[in-house]
Amino acid sequence: MLPLQPLQSLDRAASGRRVMGWSGVLTIAARVIIAHVRTAMAFVAALLLATACVAPLSGAAAGVIVVPPGNGSQQQPTVDRNSVARTRETGGTFEGKYQQIYRLLQSDRALMARIKSAAQRFGIDPVHMLGAIVAEHTFNVDAIDSAQGYYIKAMAYLGTPILFQYKGVPVSEFVAKEQFDRCRTSKDDFDLWDCREEVWRDVFRGNTVDGVSYPDDRFGRVFFQPLYAGQTFGLGQLSPIAALSVADIVHKRSGLPLIDMDHAPELYSTIMDPATSLEYLAALIRLSIDSYRDLAGFDISKNPGLTATLYNVGDARDRARRLAATNRQSGATAYPQVNYFGWFVNEKEDDLRRLLQ
């Protein structure tokens, strides 16, 4: 038996002619494999690059128009006559009311910290929240002297036996009627309450149904005003329906307990207390921004006047859908517009940003 030889000695034959040994075979095989791998990788990379070049962008990122800050008009739209009347009755002025709420925010660092914290949780610029708060207290209500005043009122509601009802029928029993069956498939709380308000307008408002006469008035005024003390409450001037419409979002992002229509005192306390009401304010603004991006193709996150307008008038999703439909039908691009409320916020944006410094 011949003795075993090192592999390199097998690379040569006795005649001196070079013969392929195992090391050579392995080396060439490795080179061939590497070459094929490199070729395949280059092909895949080229294919991916070509696909990226020709594939359209998908989702909200495709063709979203960013609405810049500021107003498109030098003149403020006509102020709502009810706002004018309320301010005249109290002997005040819009500028005076603005200064009052501005001073409250300026002097309360704890409140400003809460505003910033809520804004961060919902991924929005806190100037949007300041805009809504300031405009509400400029055009709709007078500010309480301090945020503590809102907290005291919130505690008072907890001891008040109140119920959301009409003619003895609780709202939870009312919305269980068969006329509201189509709302059962709503994807979230906002769509659910939007559907319920639509059914109210279409079926019940100003009509007699099953022997019961219903007023020609808004759903919120009929069922959600048991104390006859106004329709909106707290620092953010939230209505019960507005808060209920984002209850699921607030519960998910902020971890607050779910509010519901069967516990009116707790709901009132929640929207009166700045520590909790700010979460609902932030959620409504987040929903408006998302609605206009996803449904109408506009990024309104840089324009606090637009989010303030939507906070004032409500129905963000329906308005976004209508704007999208208008643009599709006309072939032109109509931008979302501010009302007097939002125009004022854009005019004061520099002031509001100073509060955040």
Share above pLDDT 90 across residues of the chain, in percent, rounded to a whole number: 66
Three-state SS for 90-150 is CCCCHHHHHHHHHHHHHHCHHHHHHHHHHHHHCCCCHHHHHHHHHHHHHHCCCCCCCHHHH
339 or 13, higher pLDDT:
339
Between 147 and 132, the higher pLDDT residue:
132
Whether the per-residue pLDDT at 280 is higher than 90: the answer is yes
Residue 292: DSSP 8-state: I
Q: What pLDDT does residue 9 have?
A: 32
In whole numbers, what is the pLDDT of the chain averaged over residues?
82
Amino acid 239 reads S
Domain boundaries, the chain: 13-54, 63-164+224-355
**Residues 280, 115: contact at Cβ < 8 Å?**
no
Question: What is residue 236's predicted lDDT score, i.e. its pLDDT?
Answer: 84
pLDDT digits (tens, 9 = 90+) for 17-49: 333 343 333 333 334 333 333 433 333 333 333
In whole angstroms, what is the distance from residue 106 CA to residue 279 CA?
20
Confidence grade of residue 141 (pLDDT, cut at 50, 70, 90): confident
pLDDT digits (tens, 9 = 90+) for 196-207: 999 999 999 999
Between strands 65-66 and 298-299, the pairing is parallel
- Taking residues 42-59, report their average pLDDT: 32
- In this model, does residue 283 exceed pLDDT 50? yes
Phi and psi at residue 71, to the nearest 5°: -100, 145
* 120-149: burial string, b at 16+ Cβ within 10 Å, e else: ebbebbbbbbbbbbbbbbbbbbebbeebee
Q: What is the pLDDT of residues 312-346, one digit of tens each?
A: 999 999 999 999 999 999 999 999 999 999 999 99
Least confident segment among 50-64, 222-236, 343-357? 50-64
**Which has the higher per-residue pLDDT, 162 or 24?**
162
**How would residue 148 be classed by pLDDT, with cut points 50, 70 and 90?**
low
CATH of 63-164+224-355, one of 1.25.10, 1.10.530, 3.30.70, 1.10.3470: 1.10.530
Report the distance separating Cα 285 and Cα 135, nearest Å: 14
Name the band, by pLDDT with cuts 50, 70 and 90, for residue 289: very high
